[in-house]
Amino acid sequence: MTTMLVAISGGHLAQLHMLAPRIVGSDHVVWMTDDTAQSRSLLEGEHVYHVPTRPPRDTLGVLRDTRIAQRAFAEHRIERVVSSGAQIALSALIPALLHRVPFSYVESATRVTDLSTTGRLVDHIPSVRRYVQYPNRVSGRWQYALSVFDGFRVERAPERPITRAVVTVGGNGDFGFRRLVESAQRALPDDARVLWQTGSTDASGLDIDAVASVPSATLSEELAAADVVIGHAGTGTALAALSAGKVPVLSPRSVELGEHVDSHQDDLARFLSDRGLAVVRPADEITLDDLREASRWQVTRRDDLEPVAI
């Protein structure tokens, strides 16, 4: 069986890449995602169909990217499509419907209390197999099968000074988060070595060595070596930090201040905080004590998670 895995880069792609080994029944896999440093690094060696990086809710872009999905169907005997969103899922859904290929949509783990725009759209298509990543979100049409947060354990870590840090507000996107960058700069020790991954945030005038994005492998190395991780409350950032063994300091973006399209980061931050998987603070209120608290914990993962059929 050939499965096409479809996700936009960032948190959506990180989730699907993490979930892929648990999705049973695939002899061959092809990917469809946008062309970013993260996707190039994370999917190195995989068969990938790249689409342009597009702004959210780009209807014309969805239709244009359908041609790329159709090419994948023409070149492979695709028997199943699995997507974790976002709007790129719709580009793959159209040829899947035309070819009568089963389509499974796994709602982002970011969506703790509601559905994304893409989730609401696929909710109207009866043939789509729909999954949420939280058992309490199960409804008549939405099932629960697996979650990227399954199996993370938090335990005390040996105390250490904060000499290395990663500050990340996401490697791509159209929304800046300067409040977080400025707050992290104030809170971090002056002599700390810091990777500043600032995405589209304007870092002009700040005395930092900012980079928009680094390859996934480079970011993973920096996260593993860091004493503390500070980031926006995005799924990709949270998963990257947890996978590197770190409890991150996370700050949700503000819709009112033009930092995101909706308040879903508040829901994710609350969920992670309740389970001890993050130290959550408002973006402009991070202190050195918050960084020290996060550095006192380490994260490990189970290796006995069961595969699932979706």
306 belongs to a structural domain: no
Please determine, for residue 26, whether its predicted confidence score (pLDDT) is greater than 70.
no
Check whether residue 28 and residue 6 sit in a common domain. yes
This prediction has a pTM of 0.76
What is the tens place of the pLDDT at every residue in 1-20?
799 999 999 889 989 998 99
170 belongs to a structural domain: yes
Please determine, for residue 41, whether its predicted confidence score (pLDDT) is greater than 80.
yes
Domain boundary, last residue among 100, 126, 144: 144
What is the tens place of the pLDDT at every residue in 115-127?
999 999 999 999 9
The candidate with the shortest Cα–Cα distance to 180, out of 269, 53, 56, is: 269
Please determine, for residue 171, whether its predicted confidence score (pLDDT) is greater than 70.
no
User: How many Å apart are CA 85 and CA 205, to the nearest integer?
Assistant: 35
Check whether residue 102 and residue 165 sit in a common domain. no
Check whether residue 11 and residue 114 sit in a common domain. yes
307 belongs to a structural domain: no
Please determine, for residue 131, whether its predicted confidence score (pLDDT) is greater than 80.
yes
Domain boundary, last residue among 94, 109, 144: 144
Check whether residue 162 and residue 297 sit in a common domain. yes
Mean pLDDT (whole number) for 222-248 = 95
Domain that holds residue 37: 2-144
Please determine, for residue 172, whether its predicted confidence score (pLDDT) is greater than 60.
no
Check whether residue 136 and residue 51 sit in a common domain. yes
Check whether residue 65 and residue 166 sit in a common domain. no
The percent helix, strand, coil of the chain (3-state, each to 5) is 35, 25, 45
Domain boundary, last residue among 89, 116, 144: 144
308 belongs to a structural domain: no
Counting the structural domains of the chain, the total is 2
Residue-averaged pLDDT of the chain: 92
